[in-house]
Amino acid sequence: MREIVLDTETTGFDADKDDRIVEIGAVELLNHLPTGRTFHVYINPERSMPNEAFEVHGLGDDFLRDKPKFAEIAQDFLDFVADDAKLVIHNAAFDMKFLNAELRRAGHPTLPWARALDTLAIARERFPGSPASLDALCRRFGVDNSNRELHGALLDSEILAEVYLELIGGRQPDLVLDRPGQEQDVAATDRSTVRRAPRPTPLPPRLTDQEATAHQDFIAKLGDGAVWARYQ
């Protein structure tokens, strides 16, 4: 199963007017494991950068002036996400709206909304009433985001990939590793407290006599050093 963890930075909040994407970062996962393949590009938004947006990501007019326009990188982006991957995004409605607005302007097909998997929605469902920002989830799961002084699409995608794997059960809830200098902030409600008593009467074996005999014959052929022999 192929997934793309994705983030964008923009000039503002209104994709339907004149706000534009200025950065895209994406990380490829295959069967929930990072493959090492990434996509990262800065984009000339063809407009000036509002100060409010600059304070979020630090991408200014001088830096972006010589970067490619979205139309110039659109096909490379579409080739990377292809049509076989889920798009894992935090607050997916925001990024999908911007990406599809840019794709329409560039004359490309838009991305189906069904491809988006929203980690913000997953977090709110798992932890109702708790903060669900990316920073809050990093604190909850012990994901290191100390390099995240400003928003950056590729860095945020890499961090989100770790958070996403925790959200879907990538680590057992009560397995918390002590890392030097790292604060552990795992809520008690995340830990399993259920303890089941052993059955008063063990379940009967499901092996038939014929299957048990065949197994014994197989072990005998392996010799005295066979691992199975330790469990007889």
Find, among 18, 48, 40, the residue nearest to 152 by Cα: 40
Per-residue CA distances from 95 to 7, 50, 180 (Å) = 7, 19, 36
Whether 108 is a known active-site residue: answer no
Residues paired with 5 in a beta bridge: 27, 88
Cβ within 8 Å of residue 89, ≥6 positions away: 5, 6, 7, 95, 96, 116, 117, 118, 119, 160
Q: Which of 57, 90, 151, 215 is the catalytic position?
A: 151
Find, among 146, 106, 130, the residue nearest to 190 by Cα: 130
Which phi and psi angles does 203 have, rounded to 5°? -65, 145
Side chain identity at residue 187, one-letter code: A
Contact by Cβ (8 Å): 130, 119: no
2-10 and 21-30 strand pairing = antiparallel
- What are the residue numbers of the active site? 151
